[in-house]
């Protein structure tokens, strides 16, 4: 077992340090290979795509009252107070924005 002193006088086990370095290099290589294979993704692009989807959903929610008003008028000749629909949508969006991820109900896509 080789030992050495650092500039600060700390004694380190060179064999242990070399083993640790090799282990970390293997782990880094495994991550790089997984990235190349598409098995892993970096967080920044995933977060950006998620934020984009959330903003798209918000825009669609905000457009719903006008679409509903138009459809009701075209199909049934009925007029509806768009502010009533806006209030429902805004309350829903506010509730969703205040929830933490773990507070949201789970959705089964199947």
Same domain membership, residue 94 and residue 53: yes
Which has the closest alpha carbon to 28: 40, 13, 16?
A: 40
In this structure, the answer to whether residues 87 and 61 fall within a common structural domain is yes
Instruction: Please give the pLDDT value at position 43.
Output: 82
Percent of the chain with pLDDT over 70: 91
Q: What are phi and psi of 4, to 5 degrees?
A: -145, 160
What tens digit of pLDDT does each residue of 34-64 get? 999 999 888 888 888 889 999 999 999 999 9
Q: Comparing 7-11, 60-64, 75-79, 84-88, which segment has the lowest mean pLDDT?
A: 7-11
Residue 96 confidence (pLDDT): 84
The pLDDT score that the predictor gives to residue 105 is 62
Same domain, 48 and 99: yes
| Shared domain check, 32 and 48 | no
Query: Whole domain around residue 20: which residue ranges?
Result: 3-37
Record the tokens describing residue 8, joined without a space: 């600060």
Instruction: Characterise 55 by phi-psi region: left (phi > 0), alpha (psi -120 to 50), beta (else).
Output: alpha
The dihedrals phi and psi of 80, each to the nearest 5 degrees, come to: -135, 145
pTM of the predicted protein model: 0.54
Buried b / exposed e along 44-72 (16+ C-beta atoms within 10 A): eeeeeeeeeeeeeeeeeeeeebeeebeee
**In this structure, is residue 51 part of a structural domain?**
yes
Chain-wide mean pLDDT for the chain?
88
Instruction: Indicate whether 109 pLDDT > 70.
Output: no
Number of structural domains found in the chain: 2
Cβ partners under 8 Å of residue 84, min gap 6: none
pLDDT of 102 strictly over 80? no
């Amino acid at each position: 077992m080789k030992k050495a002193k650092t500039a600060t006088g700390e004694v380190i086990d060179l064999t242990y340090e070399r083993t640790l370095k090799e282990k970390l290099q293997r782990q880094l290589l495994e991550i790089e290979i997984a990235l190349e294979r598409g098995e892993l993704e970096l967080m920044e692009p995933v977060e950006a795509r998620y934020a984009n989807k959330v903003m798209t959903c918000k825009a669609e929610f905000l457009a719903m009252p006008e679409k509903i008003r138009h459809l009701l008028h075209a199909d049934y000749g009925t007029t509806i107070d768009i502010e009533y629909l806006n209030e429902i949508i805004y309350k829903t969006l506010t509730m969703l924005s205040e929830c933490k991820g773990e507070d949201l109900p789970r959705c089964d896509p199947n």
